[in-house]
Chain A
């Protein structure tokens, strides 16, 4: 199954989508795609079948987001905690990811035509080398695209992300590149894997669970959260439209919250700081180099 799909909506769904779109859509939507295994169990099929169905649903959802005019999407594909699952299931999931990233690279023309930039956020060092290579390849290939952004959280947890940010900052202070007093909320945000993205406006979690499970905890302080009971493979365009409409109805409150938070950080945020800029530039180029190395690895 392909990443970019043709339109699958019937005319009535299409009209409703247009109606919702006319009310103003979020700039960035995050998804916790939960319920693949419960879907498999419910339908008496193998777990991997559930995960495959989940991926197909992702492709479909990305198309809806494009149709709605939502430029950025972040999805929680694989948590570091998921490594605790059975070896068999972890291997199956890695195989599925390999398969899908190969597919993505095969479709590079389509991807470039649509101007989609793909970023994998997470601790890539925890992944098998060949998968890391495929991911790096996709990221480097699409890094200059700017019409739509797809962030895939893989081997990700929010605590791991924050820990890694703190570690690089403390290392920067130790090497005297920056001063401890330069470290602020804003600088930490810039050290996270998501430094290129605005914070999500809407977070959708499926399958009836009502927690964030270590996903984007730092980035969602003024995000409208929408918990849906539906299992991810059964997520339909109606659920998507309901979630966006829910966001629209709460928009005023979110804007107020965002403004308040920004006014707080402005007070503590020092003006332009050359040293901090240098540090961040260095950190980001290190990450870029890590990707280049992963892409060229031979095994």
Chain B
């Protein structure tokens, strides 16, 4: 009897919370539509503001990964993110969705970005064209935007996580068989280097989780040891203020590395 009563109370609270969340998200999206409509800043101004803001931060991520959780992908919004990252001086930007939709649609994504942000496509290096350890920042001078640097963009899915660790194990088996390596030589550094070659990116400094669930979604398990996780409500209609807010949150994180 009492149990039924508890369950009724629980259901009531559950529904109440869902209702409050619904109202909240409606207000946010209405507010976003309104502010987008009366948008006064041009993209160039936004980029300048981001560059200014980043100058006053103690640290900015060199590798950001955007994790698309339980929501549909909006390539247009992700395209904006790339351009903001260029302004923030980010060297690597990765996009992850566990089902592999982004990897499948990469060509489509590219065409949208080059159409909407024609001016900046020279600053974007897509896919596997760069070496794993080549964390070079090349200063661009086109369009008078000489404060901008190139960003490398890559897509990941669930299969790049644990599967890569399996692949590395297979390779190690081969090396041992061919007497290139002893089993006792296998250590974290060896594995780390091999994982780095497979993923082609350094460990992410910041993961931006888009959606209501805070979860790694199977993102590159070997490489997220010290990655900071910041959650945003959604990547749809994400504004550059939202983006700056994420960078500010990252700026506040202090790493102690176990000490």
Residues of A within 8 A of B (CB): 15, 18-23, 79-85, 157-160, 162-163, 166-167, 169-171, 173-174, 180-181, 183-185, 188, 209-214, 217-218, 220-227, 245, 248-250, 253-254, 256-257, 260-261, 264, 268
Contact = CB atoms under 8 A, between A and B. Distances in A.
6 contacts: A81-B258, A162-B165, A166-B169, A185-B166, A253-B215, A261-B158
Contacts of B249: 210
B221 A218 contact: yes
Contacts of A185: 162-163, 166
A223 B98 contact: no
Given A169-B169, A223-B215, A264 B230 contact: no
B257 to A, nearest CB: 6
A225 B215 contact: yes
A20 B258 contact: no
B212 to A, nearest CB: 7
Interface string B229-259: 1100000000000000000010001010111
A21 B6 contact: yes
B216 interface: yes
A234 to B, nearest CB: 19
Given A221-B161, A221-B218, A254-B215, A170 B225 contact: no
B176 A210 contact: no
A257 B215 contact: yes
Closest 9 CB pairs of A and B: A81-B258, A221-B218, A22-B6, A22-B7, A180-B173, A217-B221, A23-B10, A214-B225, A253-B213
Contact of B259 (A23, A85, A250): A85
B158 to A, nearest CB: 6
A223 B216 contact: yes
A262 to B, nearest CB: 11
Contacts of A261: 98, 158, 218
Nearest to B254: A209
Given A163-B188, A184-B166, A214-B225, A171 B183 contact: yes
B10 A22 contact: yes
Contacts of A174: 173, 176-177, 183
Interface string B18-53: 100000000000000000000000000000000000
Contact of A260 (B3, B98, B172, B192): B98
A224 B191 CA distance: 28
B164 to A, nearest CB: 11
Interface string B169-200: 11011101100000100111001100000000
A213 B225 CA distance: 5
Contacts of A245: 13
A243 to B, nearest CB: 11
Contacts of A15: 6
Nearest to B100: A264
Contacts of A211: 225-229, 253, 255
Contact of A19 (B6, B191, B253): B6
B173 A224 contact: no
A162 B3 CA distance: 43
A288 to B, nearest CB: 21
Contact of B222 (A23, A162, A171, A209): A162
Nearest to A225: B214
B225 A180 contact: no
Contacts of A160: 188
A224 B215 contact: yes
Nearest to B157: A264
Given A81-B257, A210-B253, A250 B213 contact: yes
Given A225-B215, A260-B99, A173 B173 contact: yes
B216 A221 contact: yes
A248 B11 CA distance: 11
B54 interface: no
Contacts of B10: 19-20, 22-23
Given A159-B222, A159-B225, A226-B214, A166 B161 contact: no
Interface string B121-151: 0000000000000000000000000000000
Contacts of B186: 163, 166-167, 170
A210 to B, nearest CB: 5
Given A23-B11, A221-B218, 12 more contacts: A157-B225, A158-B221, A169-B169, A174-B173, A183-B169, A210-B228, A213-B258, A214-B225, A217-B225, A227-B214, A250-B213, A260-B98
Nearest to B10: A23
Of A82, A211, A224, the most chain B CB neighbours within 10 A belong to A211
Contacts of A20: 10
Contacts of B188: 159-160, 163
A214 B69 CA distance: 22
